[in-house]
Amino acid sequence: MKKIVLLFIGISTLLQAQKKDVSLEDIWRKGTFRADYMNSLNSMNGDYYSLLNNKEGSSSVDKYDYKTLEKVATIVDSKDLNELKTFQSYSFNSDETKLILGTNFKSIFRHSFLGTFYMYDIASKTLRLIGEDIQRPTFSPDSKRVAYAKDNNLFIRDFSSNSLVQVTTDGEKNKIINGITDWVYEEEFGFVKAFEWSKNGSNLAFLRFDESAVKTFSMDVYGKEKYPTQEVFKYPKAGEDNAKVTLHVYSLATNGTAKIIFGDYEYIPRINWTKDDNVLAVRTLNRHQNDLKMYFINAKTYDTSLILNETDKAYVEVNDDLTFLNDNSFIWTSEKDGFNHIYHYNKKGELINQVTKGNWEVTSYYGFDADKKTVYYQSVENGSINRGVYSISLKGENKKVLSNPLGTNSASFSRNMHYFINTFSDASTPTVYSLRNDAGNVLKTVKDNAALKEVVAKYNLSKKEFSTININGNDLNMYTIKPVNFDSNKKYPVLMYQYSGPGSQNVKNSWNGANDYWHQMLAQDGYIVVCVDGRGTGFKGRDFKKVTYMNLVKLETEDQIAVAKKLADLSYVDAKRIGIWGWSFGGHMSTNCLLKGNDIFATAIAVAPVTTWRFYDSIYTERYMRTPEENPTGYDENSPLNYPELLKGKYLLIHGTGDDNVHVQNAYRMAEALIQANKQFEWGMYPDRNHGIYGGNTRLHLYTKMTNFIKNNL
């Protein structure tokens, strides 16, 4: 028996030795583990979708049949257009007879950009310029006009009369913005286009941002010239003045604009026209973001009605799930029963029924089939690390699972909700794209990443082990990556990874991202990698998420420290060699853990960290902390700037100097605090790189630096 066991071990070791090790070049230069993705679908009228395809120096919009996934037509190809060699975006008008084609994009912030846009008429095959260096061109419902923003003003180009109307004239950089959101709305409310056509195209509603009182932030841009330049923009930090936002409606009939006066608010995070041509739905929030109101505003009379009012002891989040049905009743999602669920209200804002119920969360709302009176959504009802796709009647009956029950599933539905592309992966299966009907039946596998699975099989990759760990009275989701040749009789160093931000999730049953391959590379070198989602993270209910309110990173830090101490008790863990790393919020956490947990953490890496919430933006920070004036202890007792003397372990601090989100000011002030406390540390500054710290060889350099730091200090 001993000979058989020894023979098996010998063969297993030989097979492992024949496999390749993951390298940084595999991850960041060669693209060895790059998955085969399916281009984002644009659902069309009927059972069709379109794709933007690029080939041999040209771009085309091609039409496909959902039933067969076969191409049925090429709608436009840039090789047939003299004025346009390629294009990077497209959008249809309502009856799909025209398109807006975009090119020459110039990035502004995370989501915003300028571009040159054209209108293409499919029947006549003609191309007409809409404008250069403009933002968010949008067809009117009758397709005769296109509204867009340029230089902080709104314009309407009328192609039927070949005229241009300037809707606003007071736009000015760092002062007045019309129809486009400011930096903080774009980043924290997640939208850029702040104008909407009414359903009949007779009115254009828009938001106006007066940034005059907002303080300016500036960043040096070093570039390649002799002198650096400065990027200067308005950035409201916690407790400071926000832009004054007002609602306006422009009437095409009168060529006049009305300022709409209603309610008391700090923010207008969404405007949406209802099914009624003259009724605009407007959502507002107070500064604490715990009192959300939705108003219906009549665009003819400007009468205002409060339709819905949702409050919370902590905060109410804004999303894009609001859907108006033909009778102007609407679908709404809310956490008001303790978990995020779907609700149906009538047009007066009276609850008809709660559509989904249970101690689990709806994570995405996909749409409503009016003919079948069926709602489609994604949820975690099969465990908070999984995602499934479901259907349910509007009355909350006949629920069906339409996807794999476990793993991570998401859906892209046809416009009529008859078909969807299901995107599935789990920790051991690369992404699989399949065509399904509305009953969930698989009609065809589109892509299965079989080639990637073959590539991965040639490498020494460890299994990602999912579990829970009881910390401070909560069963927290956890995964562990151990070396392939793990021996429980040996002692191993541990590197913990986390993000920990409100509503976030790192422990999920899905295929690898770039960091997973880096963690696998570290496991090859004898490290155990552990990730735990502590209190404040998402998909386990309102109370679990909002328990950190007013004290961001306090409980989260306590949880990670407790995890480290529990890991230290394991027989195969070297208790003196436990480290932690994170990016952004996770960098704040790793810094805090190294200082406040200096009796257990030996090392930490912080990439682009917040080091005091006083430096971060108003909307995000105050949602979870209120203002510094209201909550000074919450801000200061959890800021590592205030206790640098606690540093005992090895610390690597990294930031991009062009970070418009978490400003490099955070890193510089942390460095200064450590210097004045006479604490040695390592750091790396990446010139002109933003919050993502990428471009060229930047990521390869960054992860090489982090790898060397870990090998030398953990």
CB 421 within 8 A of CB 38: yes
Looking at the DSSP assignment, which residues form a beta bridge with residue 673? none
Q: Which residue in this structure is represented by tokens 């099989």?
A: 457
User: Would you give the distance in Å from CA 4 to the centre of its chain?
Assistant: 52
Strands of 315-453, DSSP E = 323-324, 330-334, 341-345, 351-354, 362-369, 374-379, 388-393, 400-401, 408-413, 419-426, 429-437, 442-447
How many beta carbons lie within 10 A of that of residue 320, not counting itself?
11
CB 51 within 8 A of CB 42: yes
Cα–Cα distance for residue pair 388/390, rounded to 1 Å: 6
573 three-class SS:
strand
Phi–psi pair at 622, nearest 5 degrees: -70, -25
Cα–Cα distance for residue pair 140/269, rounded to 1 Å: 22
Cα–Cα distance for residue pair 459/461, rounded to 1 Å: 6
Burial of residue 256, with CB atoms counted within 10 A of its CB: 0-12 exposed, 13-18 middle, 19 or more buried: exposed
Whether 584 sits among the annotated catalytic residues: the reply is yes
Residue by residue, DSSP assigns 477-490 as EEEEE--TT--TTS
Cα–Cα distance for residue pair 400/390, rounded to 1 Å: 6
CB 474 within 8 A of CB 544: yes
* Residues present in the chain in total: 714
How many beta carbons lie within 10 A of that of residue 595, not counting itself?
22
Cα–Cα distance for residue pair 153/135, rounded to 1 Å: 10
Cα–Cα distance for residue pair 600/708, rounded to 1 Å: 21
Whether 533 sits among the annotated catalytic residues: the reply is no
Cα–Cα distance for residue pair 604/560, rounded to 1 Å: 12
Cα–Cα distance for residue pair 655/632, rounded to 1 Å: 26
Cα–Cα distance for residue pair 16/28, rounded to 1 Å: 24
Cα–Cα distance for residue pair 216/212, rounded to 1 Å: 10
Q: 660 is written with which tokens?
A: 């418009």
Phi–psi pair at 334, nearest 5 degrees: -155, 155
The catalytically annotated residue of 329, 379, 384, 584 is 584
**DSSP one-letter code for 359:** S
Sequence-separated (6 or more) residues with CB below 8 Å from residue 343: 331, 332, 333, 334, 351, 353, 354, 355
Q: 337 is written with which tokens?
A: 């029963």
Alpha helices in 550-683 (DSSP H): 554-568, 585-596, 618-625, 632-636, 665-676
CB 302 within 8 A of CB 635: no
**DSSP one-letter code for 386:** -
Cα–Cα distance for residue pair 257/167, rounded to 1 Å: 8
The catalytically annotated residue of 434, 659, 660, 663 is 659
Catalytically annotated residues: 584, 659, 691
